[in-house]
Each structure stands twice: as C-alpha cells, then as structure tokens.
Chain A
C-alpha cells in the first residue's frame, strides 16, 4: 500500500504568500507537492465556509497564508483573518477536525524559503497525524 499523501489546500494572499510561492518557484526551492494553492486577494477575504468546504471535500489540511501584522496590503485584513481563524479553529474542533490540520502563517513576499519550510513541516505533520476523518479516499483508512 502506498504511503499516505495528505491533501492540503492553501488559501494564499496575492501580495505576500502567493508571491512567496512564485519566488520559491523562481528560486527552484522544491517542496512537497501536497499543497494546492488558491489565490485570494487577502487572507481577510477567506470566508470560514471556504475552509469548511475544503474539509468537507476531504482535505487533510488547510493553510492560510497572509502578510505579517502591520504589512497588510489592505491595512488590516490579516488581523481579521487571525480573529476568524481563532474562532473557526474552535468550531472545527467540535466537529472532530484537529486544530493541527488548520494553519495560519504569515509569509512575506520575500520569504520563499519560509514558504518551503512551512509546507514541508505541515506535510510531515499531517502524514504523522494520518488522514482527516472526512477524507473518504485515503488509503488504509479505518472506518470508525
């Protein structure tokens, strides 16, 4: 049986983390393929229902990437994201989604290396954690 490959959805701010992903590419910094990126204009525009939808569709992890506090292109959208994430984490826990599956990270446009580190770390941790309870396709998944 093949090794479990977690499915990670990344909601990345266009101005920082998305650009950092571009930079990681131009710098040829390879990282796990598990992350698939959706471009957002700001981390503050990530509606909680997008995260919930991703988990419902079987994502093993969700990563929101925003600008460092104070650096938001739209003044303070990242801080709104932070508040939302704090709340949503609690709600997800109630539904059995471990908080280790839902990450918010500040990654500036120049931090391509940091993007690689975050994605690598998240992938490794999710592999250790195993598939999400809502991931119906994962190999070797035990039905409870």
Chain B
C-alpha cells in the first residue's frame, strides 16, 4: 500500500523561522516520495495547528504525519493526541523532528540551519513509513504514596495525601520528623515561632491514621514503575521499643556524651537521646556505631568501652560486672594481658591510647567479685569434665556453670591455675589475686579435683564411664622445646618452664651466678627477671634477631632492662661448653638479618667464623613449649597438627573424637592468657550446642562467614577536632633496686584520679558503650540492646522526594575563621542559640573563648555576613534565596533580645526581598536602626580578647571599613544533600548543574521528574523558603492524588519483543536484561519477553546475534531508515 504522508514545519513564532527558512524546507518535503501535503505554520502546537493536522488527515486520507518543530520531549504527546483524534494509531502514524533545540537555537548561520533541518526532516520522512501500530498497556495504580524526608515539605505532602483519604508512608532518616524548619527559631517575615506552627504538623503526621510515620528509616531500594513501585525500607535499629514513654530516665544514667546533631553541636547529648523535647515520635534512640576497635581487637570480645566508661563515672562494680561477662579472671588479665586493645585504640590518633589494661586492673582492685551478679538459670542435669585448670579450663568451667551445667575440673598439680601459677612470676601476678579469682569461680558451684593427672589417675574412657556428657581438654603446653645443640643435657641447662615452676611454687633460689637466657619471648623475660630475684649476679638474654623483632611485650623488655639484665642480640646458640659435665659457657654465632620469612619477620642469617663463647654457669632456654599428648593418646586416638597440638574444627573446637573439645595452648601452641580465654568461649558455645543437639547451627555460621567476605564500612564516632592532649596515665612502679630482691608485685596500679582521667580520654568510638545501665533504669522495660535493623518492602503507586538541603560548611573559607574563632557562628548555630530548646534556652550569648560548649554574655555588636558560598563562583553560583530575609530576622532578634543599643551590621551584596511582606519587613528592620552595608566581607580576624575585626569595602561610599564586633554570623549557602547522587540513582531521577534534583520542566512541570510517578518537593529541587516549600509540597501531593484517584496508568508501548521465528534460543539476552524480564520457553526453545516487567532499554536488542530481539518503535528498519535519511540523498 502506498503511504500518504503529511508534513508540517512550525515557525514557533520566530524561534525556528528566524534561522530556518521553513517554507524552503516544506517545499523540499513536498518533493519527497509519498508526501501529499507539506505545510509551514506559525504555531503547530496551538489548537488551529493541531486542527490543521486533523483536517488534513481526513481531507488527504493521510496515513503518516511528520511534524518538524521543538523537541519531542516537549510536544510529542500533543501531536500524538492530534493523530489519535484524527483516527490514526499515533505510534504508527506520527514522527517528530526537532528543528528548534537541535536546529535553529544551536546553529548560527541561516544556510547551515536550513540545510540541517532539511536533512533531519528527510530522515524523519524516511523513518515514519516503517513505524508500526502500537497500543499502550494500562496498569492499575496502587493508591499508597511514599514520601521521602520528614521536613516541612514531606510533612505537608503527607498530611494533604492523608486528608484526601489515601495512605502515605513518611520515611525520615533522622529519629524525629521536623527537618530544618523545626531547628529554626522564628520564621520571616511574620516572625511566627516555627515550633508553634511546625509542631502541630509533626503531631499530625504522628497521629493521622492514614500516615504511617517511619522515622529512623531509610529507603534502600526502589523497583517497579509508576503506579506499582516496590520500595525496600531499612528500619534502623533504635534499640528502644514502641512502649518508650519518653521519660528520659535512660539518658540520666548514660555515661556517654556526644555533641547533639540537632543543635549543630552547640550542646551535648547522651548516647541514648531524644533530638529535642518536642521530637515526634517521642521515643528515644540509642546511637550505636561500628563496634569499638578495642572491643573487636580483644580476642575474648570484652566490652572494653563499657568498663572504661564505668571507671570514668566511678561505677567500679558495674565495670567489673562488664569485664566478668567475658573475662573470668579480671585481676589476672589486668596485670598480664598484652592488651591488643590498646594497639587499636583510636585515641592514639589524638595523643596516646587509653591505658585500658591498667583500668581493668583498677576496676578489679576496686570492686567485689562476690557482688558480680550471676544469671538466674535453672540447673541442667549435664556433667562436663574440664581437664586442666589453666585460663582456658577456668573459662570453660565458669561460663558453662553460669549457664547451669555441672562442671568438674581435673588438675594434675596440687593447686589450680596452670601456667598462671607455674609460669607467670609472682612479681607480675601475686598468687593471692589468682587464688581469689579462682576461689570466686569455684564458689559458683564448680567442683575441682586437684592432683589428678590424665593418664595416671584417670583416662578419657573412665570419665565417660563416670557419666560425663562432654569432655574438655585444656592441658596447655608445658613440655620445653629442645634447642637441638651439643651438650644440651649438661648439668646447668634448665629449661624456662621447669625453672619458673620451681621458683614460683617453691622459691627455691636455684639460679646460679651467671645466667644466660636463650630466647626473646615473654617466657624468656620472666625467666630472666626471676633469675635476678633468685640469686643470679649477672643475667644475659641471648636473642637471634634484634630487639625490634622480640615477641616479648615492650613493658617486659623495659622492666628487664631496668633490673640490670643484659641483652645480647643478633646472636644464636651453637653449642653448650662444658667441663666435667657442667656448663661453663655457651658458644654463640653472630647473625645478620636476611630476607623476610613467612611470619613477616626478617630471618637471622649466621655469619661464618663469628663464633665466640659467653662464659656462664647456667643456661635457661626459653624458645617455646609443646603439648604433652602421650597420656591422652594412650587410650584414645586424636588427630594432631604438624606442630603436635590437638587438631580441632575452628568453629566447633571439637577434636577428632566426638564430644571431646579442646582449646588453649593445647590447640594453639604457647599463646597469651586472653587468647586462651577466647578459645574457651568458643568451647562454651560449642559444648552447649553439642549437649542441646544444635551443632548444625555451626554449619549455618560457616556458610554465612564464607558469603560475608566484604568488610563492613567503619562508622566510628568521629574524633573531636578540639580534643585536648592528655598524657597517658602511668602506674606506680617499685624502684628497680628494691624490686630486684623481692617477688613483691612491681606494678602498684593507677590512682583513682589518674584512672578516671584516663578513662575520660576514651572517644567512645562505638557510640553507645553497652554498659546497660539504661536497661535497669527504664521502668517501662522498653530498652533492648539486641534489636537489629529490619528490612521491609512496601507497595506504593507514587513517590515524593522531599529530602531537603545541607548547609555549606564554611570551614574551608579560612578568611572568616569559622571553627577557629569562638564567636564566628553559622546561621544554623545562631538559630539554635535563639531557639528556646537550644543550648542557651533562647538567649543570644557569646561563646566562651576556651570552651565551645559554654556561652557567656550577650554581644554588644554583631556582624551578619550575607552570601557565604552563594553567588560565589568558587562555591555556588546560585542565590540561596533565603539568606537576605533571615539575616534581617537575625538583626531584629538581636535588637529585640540583646537590647536596642546592640550594634548590628548587615554586609550584603544585593538585598533580595521578593516575597509577600518581605520588602515591608526589610523596611521595618531598617527602621530599628540596623546598619546595612553594601559590600562583601573580605576577612575576619580575632584579637586576644576575642573581639573580631571585620574588613569590608562599602561599595556605596567606596570606603574600606574595619569594624570591631563581638560576634559574626555567616549566612551560609543552601547546598544539595551530600547523598543526592545516591538518592538520584535509587529513584532514577536527574540532577541539575547546581547539584539539586532536576524537575522535568523548569516552568511547566516543576514537581515532576523524568521518572514517571516520582515527584519533587521542597529544597531538594533548589533553594527555597518555607512558603514556597509548602506550596511545592502541596503540588507534589496533588500529583500523587491525581494518580491515585484515576487508578489507572498508561505505560508507553516501546518495549522489547523477541521474534519467535528468528530466535535461536541462545539466551544471551536473558543474562543481559537488567530487569530479569526475559524468560526461556523450554518447550519452544526460545526466549520470551515478559511485557509487564520490560522497560524497553534495548539491552537485548542491541546484542541479539540473530536479530530476533527488537524494541518496538526502535526497530532496525526504522533506525536504518533514519540513518539513510541523514546520509543519503
């Protein structure tokens, strides 16, 4: 059938016609094959223009229509409707060519513009004949709306939608609704109290049954399309349940202080807080961040931040209670722990790490173990045998007992404690402390049998016979490792482990005159320092690397040096020199450091021919210990590791023998006390699950861990910029001269004052310290620290984005000294000062020069600086539109609150008082005696007395001014939200050149976005004041209500389809489709598009190797025709 085409070119007044010779283009079109009528017309989009098309269709029996005018994004819909009215299928019949935006407006020369128009018209005329009839699909509209942002825009939109009888979900990421408006004091120009006009809106959104308020929530994901969106919302854990009464008892006991964001950090709040008294919902929230690094670096997972805070406030018993949650031996660890927590302490970024270990000891020394509460549990009739009473055995016994199990410890020595008793010298760990803490563990109902050695007095089999349901092996590593050198067994060579055991238990004084210790670990240091105390006259430590590589703790090395111990480094033992079978020296060889080995330390390389002899009477090797496995292996077979330790599953800690668990040195080889305790906790969990037949839970955790490989983003509390430098608290030590001859404890611990001041250094990295004092304080029992974030999916038909704005941070503008000079404020800080719920309860006061949180007396003179970051090519070119007016308001408030004599200077560029009543307000404030100076301030400087000198040019009188003031206020620019990019991507909207969200059309569609069904309201679209915000919010609400009321939406039919006759079933498109809209039809072996899900992106069509996948209205024939038209005559 031959096509009959009508062609129309628009003059657009003169917008097109001034560059494009429209008649010439129409004349050209008339010569094109198939064109039966070609016209030019003044305004094609006008009613007569559209009627022209309609009548021509009938008159000339047109089958196709091409209009050359503005962008199809402008009037494609208009002309499609005209064609439809004329009885044509618009997708079949109509094509639009853009000769204005892409032609007349961007081409300077008339000939060029006309030629360009001719060519693109030719392409359009060629294309149109290949178009097919399409019918848009219709979908129902979900009548719920989602509003993102609970400021005045969001609240107003929600109220309007709810009042129309539709449901609104109002999502706010802060704990309260209100937004910026509720942070302000008065609203210009009428000076109404913002709280008075704002809180009723807050209450309304909190109470309206059609509004579901979701505070402290964030939108995570949006899918679907207009009328049918699916939105994933994350309900952030508030840790306070809905039965919170808002009484504030929790905040009274909370030990953690942070600057309050709501008051822009002019005031402190607790970790559990309400943003401000009128917050909606009236429900507290606990500020929890990423778990503090001290806590995560503790192998046993002790709540370090918690007990440090308790020491800070002097609640030592609660500190001990918190420690005892994870550490059964607080006094022991307070003395001997190598404190990995302090290595990770972020306070070190300010001055030095908090003395965490010393604080733990302080708490243990100042609180009573008997008062540590035990959980109320029922006795469980299951018996567990714990073999070994070292730290791991005691941990397993204590925490299983706390759960109600019956526990019996078997210990081979006469007294319990394992290495704590035999290995750690008394001057570091007094036996009285150990006895006291073990005594407490036993007092909880743990039974112990001492002098019972495995393999000698009992076997694993005999334990099972006695009815033990599970067995724990915590036998430690007590067998010395040999040096493997000549004469190692000579008289006078005593290994560190037996040496220390003998000295610790018997005080035998067995050291000879000249002692050489081999090794550089903590055991070597202990042996050396014990040797000094046991009669040695000279003690040398021989180590094969340098002091830097020594594994011993720094404190121990220093302590040893103070006690006169000689360090011989880069030397290795080669042979024991003997005379009559007795040691007279040790032959050593010097080393140099070679390349780094697998352990990350540089390998010692012997230097040939450098051998020499160190004369000595006694050699104490301290190069490691291994596990004594023979007595265990006698009756049961166990899998061992290459190092001769017990092989266990790293999750369940179960050995190769079911029901037998192991941990501590027996598994890891020699390690620290806290690592042993960490292993103990894993065993406790495992034995409990084993006895409850829940071992499959470990498989789930294993799987989760495998899947969860990406590290979480760290969200610690930021380090305060004004943190004062505080020296690290130091314990009192006994003088080296005195301590060398005694086994008395060397470290006397911290004084109360230094403990509290050191605890005060803690930055509370994790936010809430989880001391749980609030849990006890809450009478409503509303606090639950175990609440987790919860995700939910809601269905909505329309969305309003009302995410507001951020204020520019003026810190980088160093010329104004913000952050450096005490009395330079931002506008929002000033608003909070003026607000009755702010830091000064509404008084306008100067800041104390030394303490930023303190405010002193009213200012006598104030400079208000307009356009800080607005109308400034270095920051934002746009005008923030509100600053002139609120600056006038500030001037009025200062005169009003601080007295008429207060000098107020407004430094402006231009006064923009454009709204209703605004100019009148300007006149009124001027009449109050406020000085208006046209000129931007160049700099502010501060004198030692805190007075500020403001330098500016008065551009009206052309004079330089230097004015002294008490206070300066920076009227900072309104900026797009810092997360605007994220929001843009989530909702598929656009961002304009200024960074704010872009409306679909600046004049005619100011609340719509390119994403159908997503609307904008308020300052997220551009700076605006409250009246404009409310008006736009009402407009956006009306758009949502229009969709909901109509109930039906048409979706453009330009979606993909796959030609079943051509598809070969390769399924490449299925992988490419971003919406999973393509399925495979196994019966016919072809891919099929699900048209309800497809959005028509053409990912499939662009790739399909057989050409079966196509996008309707963008088919190959149509595009080829367009290309031909552009390039071929």
* A positions within 8 Å CB-CB of B: 7, 9, 14-15, 18-19, 21-22, 24-26, 28-31, 33, 36-42, 44-50, 53-54, 57-59, 70-71, 73-77, 80-81, 84, 108-111, 116
Contact = CB atoms under 8 A, between A and B. Distances in A.
Interface string B878-903: 00000000000000000000000000
Interface stretch (B656-664, B956-964, B1121-1129): B1121-1129
Contacts of A108: 990-991
B1102 A47 contact: yes
Contacts of A80: 1072, 1099, 1102-1103
A33 B112 contact: yes
B933 interface: no
22 contacts: A19-B1010, A21-B101, A21-B106, A22-B73, A22-B98, A22-B102, A24-B106, A25-B105, A36-B116, A37-B98, A45-B1097, A45-B1099, A45-B1102, A53-B1123, A57-B1126, A57-B1128, A58-B1127, A59-B1127, A73-B988, A75-B1097, A77-B1098, A80-B1072
B1054 interface: yes
A42 B101 contact: no
Contacts of A7: 1126-1127
A110 B1097 contact: no
B1122 A25 contact: no
Interface string B1095-1129: 11111011100000001001010011011101110
Interface of B: 71-74, 98, 100-102, 105-109, 112-113, 115-116, 119-120, 123, 981, 984-985, 988, 990-993, 998, 1010, 1054, 1072, 1074-1075, 1095-1099, 1101-1103, 1111, 1114, 1116, 1119-1120, 1122-1124, 1126-1128
- In this complex, the member of A25, A28, A53, A75 whose beta carbon has the largest number of chain B beta carbons within 10 angstroms is A25
A140 B95 CA distance: 36
A80 B1069 CA distance: 12
A93 to B, nearest CB: 21
Top-9 shortest CB links A-B: A45-B1098, A25-B101, A74-B1097, A57-B1127, A75-B1074, A25-B105, A33-B112, A110-B993, A22-B101
A72 to B, nearest CB: 8
A42 B1123 contact: no
Given A38-B1119, A73-B1010, A25 B106 contact: yes
B1123 A110 contact: no
A46 B1075 CA distance: 18
Contacts of B116: 33, 36
Given A28-B106, A110-B991, A77 B1126 contact: no
A44 B107 contact: no
B316 to A, nearest CB: 53
A9 B1098 contact: no
A109 B990 contact: yes
Contacts of A109: 990, 998, 1010
Nearest to B988: A73
B1111 A41 contact: yes
Contact of B1123 (A15, A28, A31, A50): A50
Contacts of B1120: 50, 53
Nearest to A83: B1103
Contact of A110 (B98, B100, B992, B1103): B992
Given A53-B1120, A80-B1103, A110-B992, A41 B106 contact: no
A14 B1113 CA distance: 14
A57 B119 CA distance: 14
Contacts of A70: 981, 985
A44 B1126 CA distance: 21
B1010 A45 contact: no
A5 to B, nearest CB: 9
A116 B102 CA distance: 11
Contacts of B1010: 15, 19, 73, 109
A14 B98 CA distance: 13
Contacts of A110: 990-993, 998
A19 B991 CA distance: 12
A4 to B, nearest CB: 15
A33 B1120 CA distance: 21
A71 B985 contact: yes
Nearest to A113: B993
Contacts of B100: 25
Contact of A40 (B112, B1072, B1098): B1098
Contact of B106 (A31, A53, A59): A31
A98 B772 CA distance: 70
A96 B146 CA distance: 55
Contact of B1074 (A31, A71, A77): A77
A9 B1099 contact: no
B1098 A71 contact: no
A33 B115 contact: yes
Contact of B123 (A36, A74, A77): A36
Given A25-B106, A71-B984, 4 more contacts: A19-B73, A26-B105, A33-B107, A42-B1099
Contact of B1099 (A33, A59, A74, A111): A74
Contacts of A58: 1127-1128
Contacts of B1128: 57-58
A76 B1097 CA distance: 10
Contacts of B1116: 47, 49
Nearest to B120: A36
A74 B112 contact: no
A74 to B, nearest CB: 3
Nearest to A21: B102
Contacts of A50: 1119-1120, 1123
B635 to A, nearest CB: 63
A15 B1072 CA distance: 20
B1126 A29 contact: no
Nearest to A24: B106
A41 B1124 contact: no
Given A22-B73, A111-B993, A38 B1099 contact: no
Nearest to A14: B73
B1124 A30 contact: no
Given A9-B1126, A36-B1126, A84-B1102, A41 B101 contact: no
Contact of A22 (B71, B120, B992): B71
A24 B1097 contact: no
B177 to A, nearest CB: 30
Nearest to B15: A25
A141 B73 CA distance: 39
A39 B1103 CA distance: 18
B73 A38 contact: no
Contacts of A19: 73, 990, 1010
Given A44-B1098, A47-B1102, A9 B1123 contact: yes
B72 A77 contact: no
A13 to B, nearest CB: 10
A47 B112 contact: no
Contact of A30 (B106, B992, B1098): B106
A18 to B, nearest CB: 8
Contacts of B113: 33
A39 B114 CA distance: 20
A39 B1074 CA distance: 21
B1124 A57 contact: yes
Contacts of A39: 72
A7 B116 CA distance: 11
- In this complex, the member of B74, B990, B1128 whose beta carbon has the largest number of chain A beta carbons within 10 angstroms is B990
Nearest to B1125: A36
A80 to B, nearest CB: 6
B825 to A, nearest CB: 34
A48 B112 CA distance: 29
Contacts of B119: 36
A30 B1122 contact: no
A25 B74 CA distance: 13
Given A45-B1098, A110-B991, A111-B993, A38 B107 contact: no
Contact of A38 (B105, B990, B992, B1123): B1123
Contacts of A47: 1101-1103, 1116, 1119
